[in-house]
């Protein structure tokens, strides 16, 4: 194993750059931290490009590190402090190439016409925690795939942390044009339902959800644009008590995904 104790080491500098979205895009690599995430990553057949292990964590996680079967760099506590963004880091940071199960769609999103099952299109969600939580919930309730249009970066360490490892097993499509994503889903004979308060909106739970239905959830504050709503086949609202104006985007997605799951059962 290689040992690094200098914070100015070039390998360390290059890895620190991966905290930035542009650097991730240019290199095709991303980073994440923690024991559980690495266990999930390996469980679903992925292979790290490199591991950084803090000196004191080496003996505690010897078996996990060996099972990763990749280049391992042991670093001093000072170097790991430069690498980490965690408040209580466990001492293992993984460098990975972009995942095969995360697909960047073509401009027309033709790939989506061939997808099967219930799907969820997230449009302009900017909170990393919301995006990650939705991916985790979708995986738990059998919604596949999740589509992201103009959302927070899927490879951000904060997004990955919120997925709790679900990103490593879920099909995720990154769509440059949410409008084209809706059209491609419809081309594949799927009904697309926008979550929005409109005059003709139907109440969730008051109609049958089809096994191929796709739901669209918009920005945390602005929701969906009128143009995108007009493209969808119908609009849906979640019945509420009236004590609050709206739900958190991830909470709304959880309710919709459960109803879809219940419909399949």
Task: Give the model's pLDDT for residue 246.
Answer: 75
CATH superfamily of 2-97: Ribosomal protein L30/S12 (3.30.1330.30)
- pLDDT string in tens for the chain (265-residue length): 899 999 999 999 999 999 999 999 999 999 999 999 999 999 999 999 999 999 999 999 999 999 999 999 999 999 999 999 999 999 999 999 999 999 999 999 999 999 999 999 999 999 999 999 999 999 999 999 999 999 999 999 999 999 999 999 999 999 999 999 999 999 999 999 999 989 899 999 999 999 999 999 999 989 999 999 999 999 999 998 877 667 899 999 999 999 999 888 7
Handedness of CA 128, 234, 146, 244 (dihedral sign): positive
Residue closest to 218 by CA, chosen among 149, 171, 172, 162: 149
Domain parsing of the chain, residue ranges:
2-97, 102-264
Right CATH for 102-264 from 3.40.1280.10, 1.10.3720.10, 1.50.10.20, 3.40.50.2000: 3.40.1280.10
Contact 105, 176 (CB under 8 A): yes
Angle (CA) 130-132-135 rounded to 5° is 110
- CA–CA separation, 109 and 65 (whole Å): 38
């Amino acid at each position: 194993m290689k040992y690094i104790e200098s914070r100015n080491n070039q390998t360390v500098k290059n890895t620190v750059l991966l905290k930035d979205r542009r650097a991730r895009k240019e290199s095709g690599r991303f980073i994440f931290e923690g024991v559980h995430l690495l266990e999930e990553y390996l469980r679903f057949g992925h292979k790290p490009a490199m591991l950084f292990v803090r000196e004191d964590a080496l003996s505690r996680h010897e078996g996990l590190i060996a099972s990763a079967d990749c280049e391992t760099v042991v670093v001093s506590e000072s170097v790991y402090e430069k690498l980490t963004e965690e408040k209580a880091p466990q001492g293992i940071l993984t460098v990975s190439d972009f995942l095969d199960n995360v697909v960047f769609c073509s401009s027309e999103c033709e790939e989506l016409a061939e997808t099967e099952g219930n799907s969820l299109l997230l449009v302009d969600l900017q909170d990393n925690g919301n995006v990650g939580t939705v991916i985790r919930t979708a995986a738990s309730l059998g919604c596949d795939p999740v589509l992201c249009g103009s959302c927070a970066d899927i490879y951000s360490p904060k997004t990955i942390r919120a997925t709790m490892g679900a990103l490593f097993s879920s099909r995720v499509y990154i769509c440059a044009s949410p409008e084209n994503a809706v059209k491609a889903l419809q081309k594949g004979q799927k009904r697309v339902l926008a979550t929005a308060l409109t005059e003709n909106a139907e109440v969730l739970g008051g109609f049958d959800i089809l096994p191929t239905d796709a739901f669209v959830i918009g920005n945390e504050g602005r929701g969906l644009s009128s143009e995108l709503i007009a493209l969808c086949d119908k609009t849906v609202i979640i019945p509420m008590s009236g004590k609050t104006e709206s739900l958190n985007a991830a909470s709304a997605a959880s309710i919709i995904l459960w109803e879809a799951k219940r419909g399949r059962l």
